[in-house]
Structure 1
Amino acid sequence: MDTSIVFVGGGNMATSLISGLRNADCPGERITVIEPDEAKGEQLASQYGVNTATSANAEVLSAEVVVLAVKPQMLREVAQGLVEPLGDSKPLIMSIAAGVPIAGLREWMGNDHAYVRCMPNTPSLIGAGATGLYADDRVTDDQRELADTILATAGVTAWVDEESLLNAVTATSGSGPAYFFAFMEAMQAGAMDLGLDEATARELVLHTALGAARMAIESGDDPTTLREKVTSPGGTTAAALGEFSEGELGELVGRAMRSASDRADSLARELLDK
């Protein structure tokens, strides 16, 4: 890929995308990172062979894609600071700042840009991410494909047709890793209560989670079918699943995800109101 890309911010998520791009043979000289922390910029330049700058100017921002990779609470100030150096240039603007709607970006940077919002998750840091994307009506088919290519270097991608559905993405894949971590914690604690030592419990739980995920991805069967295949009537698995059912696990997960989605919506409103 020979696209010129500027990352505004050099944090963990930007680094994961830079790593993915370099692994996908995007030339380092086509990537620039604007990072005020000079030491962090030097580290990125040394590790990935990219260009770095401590501030934005017209020359630095003369790229086909600008990726906004700063914390949501910083985005208004950063976005407004890009208006003057961008001038008349109209790169594709991609934002990976959680919760900030395109309406905010338009207010801070103008209506003439094409915007894509991206909701990656933390496994993107190891190339195993799941990212939801939404494109506004100014984004061309080529720009949409370009955005998909960039995010696909960090894992799988899924597009939504309505921006509001990014809240559902947040509740599913964005916050989702923490749900699985919490379940792993609970399983490890349960295994230790049954007498296993911590190291053995941890190893069995983590590899069980890995194996189950691989089966769900690679077998071609849906989760319901896989669950049924390993659940013998009257057996040990059925006994455990009966406890989950009695505790209304499905309803609990649904309520938790609804709570995450509602919070994503309220955070977006708070960011716009500031």
Structure 2
Amino acid sequence: MSTIAFLGAGNIANAIMGGLISDGHSLFAFDPIEHCRERARGQGVTIASSNTDAISKADIVMLCVKPDVILDLLDEITSSSQGKLFISVAAGITTASMLSRLPEATALVRCMPNTPALVKTGMTALFASPAVTAEQRASATSVLSSVGESLWVDTEAELDIVTAVSGSGPAYFFLMMESLINAGVAEGLSTEISTQLVLQTALGAAVMAKQSESDAGTLRKQVTSPGGTTQAAIEHFQSVKFEKAVGDAVNAARTRSVELSKN
């Protein structure tokens, strides 16, 4: 099993730690915030005395700090980083920016997880710098698969699209659920009943789509009987250009992701 150091021990880091500990990995972590250190310690993670102390013990280094401090962090640890695999979850910080602060030919993986990782149902896309070996790719896949599913993209630009689809995606579904709950209440249901109906329906639809050999469009058509209630709702969605609104929202998120990566 690999020895893994976490620099930063916030929510996503703790979710990944939990999955890795159950798989038998040896983990070290450092975070300047005491309650983050204590939460990691409570999971069985060994708390290091500093960032450099943490990575001195590791084969793999998880960069889980905020985007606005990651480059300063890399400056701090660069002298201790030779020969290690780095995996960054910092949104909007390109591999070029990070590699400029690290030794030449450093193996770096940039990834975009999403918040369902907190309940081990996340979706993470990964992109590898040229120095990353096949073995290191397998290691990175293993790390991120501890909190859900993972896949690799061929170009870093695709991560901006990933950010717009799955990185921000949970919020889109939460908005739909929130709106549907409110609509149920407006039609006369209690908040409790409407919430239970919507959450289980969302879960059931996701599981059904996941397990079915049919695509989402086919599943939608199968449940939409001509002249029925579902058709009435779908036709209204289409009349207000629901699909265009979704496309425009994803484009706005992608555009913002590109802007942030250039700042």
| TM-score when normalising by structure 1 | 0.93
Structure 2 distance, partners of 1:231, 1:132, is 33
- Report the counterpart of residue 45 of structure 2 in structure 1: 50
RMSD of Structure 2 on Structure 1 (CA): 1.3
The Cα shift of 1:60 comes to: 4.2
Structure 2 distance, partners of 1:210, 1:58, is 43
* DSSP-derived class of the 1:110 partner: coil
The answer to whether 1:184 aligns with 2:180 is no
* Unaligned stretches of 5+ residues in structure 2: none
Structure 2 distance, partners of 1:60, 1:252, is 45
User: Is contact 1:116–1:139 with CA below 8 Å preserved after alignment?
Assistant: yes
The answer to whether 1:232 aligns with 2:228 is no
- Report the counterpart of residue 21 of structure 1 in structure 2: 20
Structure 2 distance, partners of 1:43, 1:130, is 24
* DSSP-derived class of the 1:210 partner: helix
The answer to whether 1:4 aligns with 2:3 is yes
Matched letter for residue 224 of structure 1: G
The Cα shift of 1:25 comes to: 2.8
| TM-score when normalising by structure 2 | 0.96
Structure 1 distance, partners of 2:57, 2:29, is 13
User: Is contact 2:59–2:85 with CA below 8 Å preserved after alignment?
Assistant: yes
- Report the counterpart of residue 243 of structure 2 in structure 1: 250
Structure 2 distance, partners of 1:68, 1:169, is 19
Greater Cα shift, 105-114 or 205-214: 105-114
The answer to whether 1:72 aligns with 2:67 is yes
The answer to whether 1:100 aligns with 2:93 is yes
Structure 2 distance, partners of 1:9, 1:43, is 12
Deviations 1:166-218 (A, max 9, x none): 00100010000000000111111111111111111111111110110010011
* DSSP-derived class of the 1:234 partner: coil
The answer to whether 1:165 aligns with 2:158 is yes
Matched letter for residue 190 of structure 1: A
Structure 1 distance, partners of 2:215, 2:179, is 24
- Report the counterpart of residue 35 of structure 1 in structure 2: 31
User: Is contact 1:36–1:54 with CA below 8 Å preserved after alignment?
Assistant: no
1:61 to 44, 50, 56: 56
Greater Cα shift, 30-39 or 182-191: 30-39
With over 3 angstroms needed to count, the CA separation of the structure-2 counterparts of 1:39 and 1:259, relative to structure 1, is closer
Deviations 1:114-154 (A, max 9, x none): 11001000000000000010011110000001000000000
Greater Cα shift, 259-268 or 105-114: 105-114
User: Is contact 2:28–2:54 with CA below 8 Å preserved after alignment?
Assistant: no
Matched letter for residue 67 of structure 2: P
Matched letter for residue 85 of structure 1: S
Structure 1 distance, partners of 2:133, 2:127, is 12
* Unaligned stretches of 5+ residues in structure 1: none
The Cα shift of 1:76 comes to: 1.2
Structure 2 distance, partners of 1:93, 1:57, is 14
The Cα shift of 1:43 comes to: 3.0
The Cα shift of 1:222 comes to: 1.0
Structure 1 distance, partners of 2:43, 2:79, is 29
Matched letter for residue 261 of structure 2: A
* DSSP-derived class of the 2:68 partner: helix
